[in-house]
Amino acid sequence: MDFITGEIILIDKPYGWTSFDAVKRVRGAIQRRLNIKKFKVGHAGTLDPLATGVLIICTGKATREIERFQNGTKEYIAELRLGATTPSFDLETEVDAEYPYAHITKDKILEVIPSFVGDVMQVPPVFSAVKVDGKRAYNLARKGKDVELKAKALKIDKIEVLEFEDNRLVLRIVCSKGTYIRALARDIGRALNSGAHLTALRRTRVGEFSIDNCLSIDKTIKIIEEGPIEYPNL
């Protein structure tokens, strides 16, 4: 491994970790291995703490590739609970309203799904890192302040229904950078004349990198600590 010239490290981000938590853990392991105090490490595409899956971490000069990786197509497996909403559109916050869902059938879901495929406009969740007057929207939302966000253009290539039973809906989603799956859950719930929020999210692909290429954070740290090291120009 040549961390200075640059390595691309693929991690299956654990549930409950921020993307920065993973970067910090990797950076710390590299700094200890190389016996240096500062080292450049970054990630290509944030995952929410309650999401798992593909997280691309770049080291050294490979951080120049972060923007290219971020622009890659993303694939997610998303689990939705129909008939209830939360302020964050996921499990970060408690259910704030419940709606009828007995009228929702698979045929109805298949009828509304196409309206979310293609070039679409999406309003981001207020519990997001979008900036409002220089401040993160989630900080304002957590303080109980009203946050109004503008719709953003994005592209959703495909939405496939994997499972549907009672009020549980599982989707495979292929989409562009900037897509909020939590917001998509919100919008699908509304289109079904009900409510919905995200109960699980797993990113299974970013560009050319699949979840099958990823290692656990513990396995990654073990390789950093014990694997062979290459040094440039030596």
- Answer yes or no: are the C-beta atoms of 30 and 224 closer than 8 Å: yes
- Answer yes or no: are the C-beta atoms of 223 and 11 closer than 8 Å: no
133 part of the active site: no
CA distances from residue 120 to 16, 20, 95, 183 in whole angstroms, order as listed: 30, 29, 27, 12
Give the count of beta carbons closer than 10 Å to the beta carbon of residue 69.
Answer: 19
CA atoms of 82 and 102, how far apart (whole Å)? 10
Residue in 62, 16, 57, 17 with CA at minimum distance from that of residue 223: 57
Residue from 12, 48, 90, 187 carrying the catalytic annotation? 48
Give the count of beta carbons closer than 10 Å to the beta carbon of residue 134.
Answer: 5
Alpha helices in 35-75 (DSSP H): 66-70
CA atoms of 124 and 178, how far apart (whole Å)? 9
Could you give the residue numbers annotated as active site?
Answer: 48
